[in-house]
Structure 1
Amino acid sequence: MRTPKLLATVLAVAAAVGALAGCSAISSGTITDKHYRAAYQSSYWTTHCMSYDSEHNCTMSIPVERKQHHPDRWTFDLRAGDKDGWVEVSQATYDMYKIGDYYGDSAGGGRF
């Protein structure tokens, strides 16, 4: 039963990291930098259990390659007073603003 518990733990940690990755202290402010990351694909290996014994322990497993697509990503680094943060935006929004512009609530911004 070790493999299902390990997989559940890995998935729980990945979900927590994913949830935290979208966090930023601020969502509006002066744009201090702009970043573009092109789409890419990553892969990793895991195992898949093919048979179990009477106590539900895996007795035979095979390696399985998993692939994940990561889409294009556009972000602004922001500064508001003494706080720094970042926000993910659409390509259209990215193209509309330049470094030094104000981005956010009073500029009709927010998260797109």
Structure 2
Amino acid sequence: MVPIRKMIAVLLIALVAMLASCSAIDRGTITSKSHEEARYIPVSYCTYRGGDGVCKSYGIRYDYYPPNWRFDIRNEKETGWAYVDEGTYDKYEVGDFYNGED
């Protein structure tokens, strides 16, 4: 049986490696492109009155998320992504090398 501390350490190392393997990077070959339109996301909230910590009423607000354009990229050292503006997104195709200077 594997000691619990050793198992937790292995899991933490695996988690850190997984998170580090895909992150924002600034240059590499474009492996895919994605775009999301602007959108509003409903978020529920609660209002408190009277200091008793009890929710008195619920409401919904709509948070705005602007459009975004993203390249998934890979270079010799890492795999990750880069968010770009619409002009840069239109300028490059999958398979092109993105140098992060646009």
TM-score by structure 2 length?
0.69
Question: What do the CA deviations read for 1:49-98 (whole angstroms, capped 9, x no partner)?
Answer: 1222xxxx235611121210111110001010152100000001101111
Contact 2:24 2:82 in 1 (8 A): no
Q: Distance in 2 between matches of 1:30 and 1:59?
A: 53
For this pair of structures, how many residues does the alignment match?
Answer: 82
Identity %: 32
Secondary structure of 1:93's counterpart equals helix
Shift in alpha-carbon separation, 1:80–1:65, aligned structure 2, 3 A: same
Q: Structure 1 residue 73 and structure 2 residue 68: aligned?
A: yes
Contact 2:30 2:73 in 1 (8 A): yes
Counterpart in 2 of 1:39? 38
Give runs of ≥4 in structure 1 deviating > 3 Å: none
Shift in alpha-carbon separation, 1:94–1:85, aligned structure 2, 3 A: same
RMSD: 2.2
**2:85 corresponds to which of 74, 87, 90:** 90
Counterpart in 1 of 2:26? 27
Query: Which runs of 5 or more structure 2 residues have no equivalent in the other structure?
Result: 1-21
Query: Which runs of 5 or more structure 1 residues have no equivalent in the other structure?
Result: 1-22
